[in-house]
Amino acid sequence: MSWSPDEELVALTTGQETVIMMTKDFEPINEVGIHQDDFGEGKFITVGWGKKETQFHGSEGKQAAQRKNQEVQPAAVWDDRRPRVTWRGDGQLFAVSAVCPQTGARKVRVWNREGVLQATSEPINGLEQALCWKPSGSLIASTQRHPNKHSVVFMEKNGLLHGDFTLPFSKDHAKVKELLWNSDSAVLAVWLEDMTAGEDGQVNAYIQLWTVGNYHWYLKQSLDFGRDPQKAPVCVCWDPERPLRLHVVTRGWTCITYDWGWTTERSPGLDAADNANVAVIDGEKVLVTTFRQCVVPPPMCSFELQLTSPVNQVTFLCKPQRTNQLSAFTADGNISVYSQDSGEQPEKTADGFRTMSSPLVLQKTFRLAVLQEEPLALRQLLWLDDELFVGVRSGLLPTSSTLLLLHPAQDATDTLAVRSEVEVAGVVVSMVHCSQTGTVALQLEDGQIKKLLYEGPEPSVEDWRDSSGCSINFPVPCVQMALCSISGEEYLLGLTDRSHLYAGDTELASNVSSFAVCNDFLIITTHSHTCRCLQLSTLSVKAVQTALASDGGQNDETLRRVERGSRIVTVVPQDTRVILQMPRGNLETVHHRALLLAQLRKWLDSLRFKEAFDCMRKLRINLNLIYDHNPKIFLENILTFITQLNSINHINLFLTELKEEDTTSSMYPRPESSLVQPQPASGQKKVDVVCDALRSAMESMDPNKFCLSILTTHVKKTVPELEIALQKVHELRVNRPEAPGAVSAEEALKYLLFLVNVNDLYEHSLGTYDFDLVLMVAEKSQKDPKEYLPFLNMLKSLDPNYQRYTIDKHLKRYRKALLHLSKCGQEHFPEALQLVKEQKLYSEALRLYAADKAQYKALSCAYAEHLVEQQQAEQAGLLLWRCGEPASALQAFASSSSWRNAICVAQQMPLPPDQLALLARDLAEKLTEQRRYSEAALLLDQYAKDCEEAILALITGAVWEEALRLIYMHNRQDITETNLKPALLDAVSAQTVFLDAQVATFTRHRSRLAVVREQKEKARLSMLDEDGPDCPDAELYSEASSVMTGSKYSQSNSRISSRSSKNRRKAERKKLSLKEGSPMEDRALMYALGEIITTVDKMREEVHNLLKALVLFQFDRQAEKLQLAYEEALQMMEAAVPEVWPEGLQNNQAPLTGPNSTANSIMASFQQQQQKPVASQQDAEVPTPPKMRNGVKWKLTVLK
């Protein structure tokens, strides 16, 4: 009888060889005979293509085509001949294994849940009774006895064989009683018994656990129940809920429950002596791979360790420098110790292959003196010291455990005896050791964490406590553990079967698929297909949580993508490699960026440039990091760098990758704990500094050997020194070096052509004026001789200076061309003058000719014409005057209103008096137009001899005292009555009207500003009341804000382009509109008020002079009125400054309180004060208050 997995149906086989299908209420559904001649509904269809003789038969060869079908042998004698029933995991199909009455052999038939036959297995010779359908539904497991072996075979649902594996017994050694798949189809349990009884007439019973990976079946655990009939299992089954829990009931009514977990047994070393060993149990073999030397994909390995009994546990020695040693605990209760062979190993084998990793050698085998009442009674074995093991066995109570410390017995060194026992109140499910600190941590089945103190005379167990003395436990039991140090404090990391990673009782992440701790780094893989690597010494637990929760930035070195389902196998200590295993079983090696950069920084700090360079070159790390990591150290040890690399190609590769970018601030940011500080930017550029330093070092060491690298330093500079590089190539051609290994000129030139464009190199070679070098470059290029030979022949026919001028002009080096042309004589001066005019090289040309030469005069005249065109006539006049062209100079000075120089030139010429007077009048007219009345009056008075016009000019310009001086000097008091006094009264009237207009405008703007600010404050308070203190827009309603509710104008200028200063000024003018309701009206009003104050304040001197003139001519009433009006205006504006520009406007950080405030607005203002946000662009545009010149004395005491 067999129930379906959903417990809705039950299948029964009867003695009449039938199958009865019934419901869970035992109502019959169908009854059919087991033995049917029909194949079933899944019968294969033959389409008649080809014959058996022409088919491909695989490894069996062509003989398989002629092979005749052998008769199927009947079932074994010990077969109970009873039918076996097994269901598929989804309950849709079930299989029945029964002995065929015709052949006496077993056949497997597959039925659906309606009792309809689906398929019949092919005839299989030696098929046995065991039958179990894989819960995932893909295969049906059974056993088959071959003439030479005993196998577990797999069939598909159509009855065809699909794979097998061989049991580790001889043909007639054991019989398989049952096959049992666990609930997740990962483990196959094989229950066996010996075929022949021992001397005591009893048979031995076994349970073996098999798993598959990369199409290879591994025997992972072997439980030997011995010959005692009371210990023999009578019932074996897997737990339906916990996939790796196995229940065994023995004949002596003992129930044993085994809980297994998956673990990767890796060597725990942290130094370079550790080979990153990983051991895999495979029956009587231990497969060891040394990942430091080679990455071997499973099921292969670096070497195998063959034992005499199946291995159940493997543990590595937890002692620094000796972590490659391992011990294997076998099913017969022995512990075999393996270590590295101390003898000299040949580097190569006899056939010429190099030995990558030497296998471990068996040193000793210990026999356990501990009484093992049931199989695998000793578990969780750790190898703490040379002759000290610790293990766990069941305690006196089912809920307790006993820790056993084992060491060799005194009377028998090959026996491990119990040195001491420690009782633990709880079931120990895992144990882990840290080789650095020597800590041994235990985990109980409820997640409790304990610490084993084993070094004292009396070992003991205590609770795990943190630095504050609080007891720490895992919230959930963990299936993998590791000890690590975070910020100097030791933590126990644990990973649950639900992918939660804990550090003590703190959850670090919730999507972790695997993790490993190595060299202060925590490496994890996640279900989001990423691999994280964090340096624990620089982080706190909170920081680790934050880092694992973040998505990582663009240059985050701690994060990288990996293939879906990747899990960590091991991390090579003191290296950059992380070994990952994919779901299908293959291995991949990744060089994690965090490990890589940490290792590179160590190498660079210890001046191991060769290792760092090779690693960076291999893994495509930017070579600029060699310099950027610590520029000072690199420059101080540049000779070490060159000596270690000792390769021209490697130095050239480093040089060609140089860039101005600092890679430690962009691509590879420094860790926060880095002691190396970035170097402040100096005047020189990085590329130039490195090139110069390397070149000077190489020239001092061996210039011939490093010739190509020296050329590279010239070419790679910010401004390439191609001429110097070409000159060095030419020197190699002239003076061929005799030193061995020296580079020839042809090789150097060919190398240069790889670095520089051939046309650029040709042009620069021309610039050296060395035709041999030019020809050498041209020959190496792809140029046609017809292109360059005529040009070079023409150049050779010219005079040296004119030849160089022609070359420089061809290369557009006009300054050099002018220099060479100036040495060619007077006949080429017109050509030089034309070059100067075309390229505007006037200043350079004037330096090349003497001042007393005609060429100098011609150049000065040409320069003057150019300056006049550039609206710089005064400077043109100076040039013309000094080169002896007074007439042209006078015209230039007159056009630029430089009247003093014009008068000087006119008197030097000299001009006749009438023409001089006429010139003075013309100049005075221009000065009057420019409102330079005093200077115009001086010209009219002294040079035009017209005192009346001079006095009228001074009166027009309000220069009252100077006008009076001329009136009395020329005895023209009549002008006082006719012109001066009326002008004074007009000036008083104009000033009064102007003052009244300014005061009225100021008052209007001031009132409007108060209204605008009141409206904005109300809008801000209402916003705060509605949205509360966390409103993100609250800051927009500050005193200086430009946002207004209820405004009919929108902020239409927010997206104006700022490509030019003209556009920016235009945008500012548009924004600062005085129109009522405009977004920035308050700002515009403040600007306008500031301009009014500045304008009125500048009137102090003008009003003072006017008041003095009014008092002199007894206009006291008008003067008093003007003085009073101006004083009142100044006082009113000075009093308004604090109101228009309050203190809080410039630094608006004071809390907002007052009768109009609410609880929300006060809370918001206090939060803004604490946060102190950076001032926005609008706040930065608040105009500063104008400064009034109160120190200027303008009032007259006589008018008080």
Give the span between the Cα atoms of 313 and 184, in whole angstroms.
Answer: 23
Burial (0-12, 13-18, 19+ Cβ within 10 Å), 145 = buried
Start-end of H helices in 646-757 = 648-656, 686-701, 707-715, 722-734, 745-755
* Strand ranges in 504-554 using DSSP code E only, listed in sequence order: 506-509, 512-518, 521-526, 530-535
Helix 745-755 vs helix 722-734: angle between axes, to the nearest 10 degrees? Answer: 160
- Side-chain-facing half-sphere of 258: CA atoms under 13 Å: 24
- Side-chain-facing half-sphere of 953: CA atoms under 13 Å: 25
Give the span between the Cα atoms of 78 and 55, in whole angstroms.
Answer: 39
Q: DSSP readout, 182-217? A: -TTSS-EEEEEEESS--TTS---EEEEEEEEETTEE
Q: Cβ(427)–Cβ(476) under 8 Å?
A: no
Structural element, H or E, at residue 95: strand 93-99
Q: DSSP readout, 261-275? A: ----EE----STT--
605: tokens are 């700090």
Give the span between the Cα atoms of 532 and 558, in whole angstroms.
Answer: 5
Written as one letter, the residue type at 667 is M
Q: Cβ(464)–Cβ(484) under 8 Å?
A: no
Q: Cβ(374)–Cβ(256) under 8 Å?
A: yes
Start-end of H helices in 82-159 = none
Give the span between the Cα atoms of 864 and 893, in whole angstroms.
Answer: 12
Nearest to 335 by CA among 357, 368, 369: 368
How, if at all, do strands 501-503 and 506-509 pair? antiparallel
Written as one letter, the residue type at 1058 is S
Burial (0-12, 13-18, 19+ Cβ within 10 Å), 852 = exposed
Helix 800-810 vs helix 814-822: angle between axes, to the nearest 10 degrees? Answer: 160
Start-end of H helices in 1028-1071 = 1061-1071
CA 528 from chain center: how many Å? Answer: 18
Instruction: Show Cβ contacts of residue 529 under 8 Å, excluding neighbours closer than 6 positions.
Output: 561, 562, 563, 564, 565, 566
Structural element, H or E, at residue 1082: helix 1081-1097
631: tokens are 């520029």
* Strand ranges in 1059-1190 using DSSP code E only, listed in sequence order: none
CA angle 845, 851, 856 (to 5 degrees): 45
Q: Cβ(1051)–Cβ(1041) under 8 Å?
A: no
Q: List, for residues 416-433, the tens digit of each pLDDT value.
A: 888 889 999 999 999 999
Rg (CA), the chain: 51
Structural element, H or E, at residue 1178: helix 1177-1180
Nearest to 875 by CA among 909, 846, 913: 846
Give the span between the Cα atoms of 111 and 118, in whole angstroms.
Answer: 5
What are the strands of the beta sheet with 127-133, ordered from one edge? 127-133, 140-145, 150-155, 161-166
pLDDT under 50 in the chain at which residues? 1029-1059, 1147-1152, 1171-1180
Model pLDDT, residue 1181: 64
Task: Report in angstroms the alpha-carbon separations of 623 from 612, 619, 627, 670, 690.
Answer: 9, 11, 8, 16, 13
141: tokens are 């497991």
Nearest to 808 by CA among 832, 789, 781: 832
Give the span between the Cα atoms of 457 and 450, in whole angstroms.
Answer: 19
Give the percent of the chain with pLDDT over 70: 89
Q: Cβ(626)–Cβ(638) under 8 Å?
A: no
Per the listing, tokens 């009113």 go with 1132
Model pLDDT, residue 1163: 61
Cis-peptide, bond into residue 1029, ω within 30° of zero = no
Cα end-to-end distance, the chain, whole Å: 130
**Residue 499 in 3-state DSSP?**
coil
Written as one letter, the residue type at 154 is F
Residues 249-253: contacts with CB within 8 Å, 24+ apart?
A: 250/225
Dihedrals phi, psi of 204, to nearest 5 degrees? -90, 145
Nearest to 720 by CA among 757, 746, 750: 757
